[in-house]
Structure 1
Amino acid sequence: MKYKKTYKAYIKLKKSKQEDFYNEHTAEIILFESAKKYLKEHLGESKTLAISKWETEVTTLKKEKKSLYNQILEIREEVEQAEKVKTCIEQLQENSKELKQSKNKDFQL
Structure 2
Amino acid sequence: MKYKDIYKAYIKLKKSKREDFYSEHTAEIILFESSRKYLKEHLGESKTLNISQWKSELATMKKEKDSLYYQIIDLRKEVEQTEKVKTCIEQLQEQEKQLTQVKRNELEI
TM-score, normalised on structure 2?
Answer: 0.79
User: What is the distance in 2 between the residues matched to 1:30 and 1:93?
Assistant: 70
The amino acid that maps onto 1:61 is: M
Q: Specify whether residues 99 and 65 from structure 1 end up closer, same or farther in structure 2 by C-alpha distance, changes over 3 A only.
A: same
1:62 positional shift: 0.6
Indicate if the aligned counterparts of 2:2 and 2:32 stay in contact, CA closer than 8 A.
Answer: yes
1:35 aligns with 2:66: no
Mapped to 2, the partners of 1:95 and 1:79 lie a distance apart of 24
Q: 1:41: Cα distance to partner? A: 1.7
Name the counterpart of 2:85. Answer: 85
Alpha-carbon distance between aligned partners in 2 of 1:100 and 1:31, rounded to the nearest angstrom: 78
Q: Deviations over 1:62-96 (max 9, x none)?
A: 11111111111111111111111111111111111
The number of aligned residues is: 106
C-alpha distance 94-7 of structure 1, shift in aligned 2 (>3 A): farther
Q: Are 1:43 and 1:49, in contact at CA under 8 Å, matched by a contact in 2? A: yes
Identity %: 63
Q: Give the residue type in structure 1 aligned to 2:49.
A: L
Q: Distance in 1 between matches of 2:29 and 2:98?
A: 75
Q: Structure 1 length normalisation: TM-score?
A: 0.79
Bigger radius of gyration = 2
Aligned 1:47-58 pairs, distance under 5 A: 47-58=47-58
Is the partner of 1:54 in helix, strand or coil? Answer: helix
Question: How far is 1:7 from its partner?
Answer: 4.1
Please, what is the CA RMSD of the aligned residues? Answer: 2.2
Q: Which residue of 1 aligns with 2:24?
A: 21
User: Could you tell me whether the CA contact under 8 Å between 1:10 and 1:21 is conserved in 2?
Assistant: no
Unaligned 5+ segments in structure 2 are: none
What SS does the corresponding residue of 1:45 show, helix, strand or coil?
coil
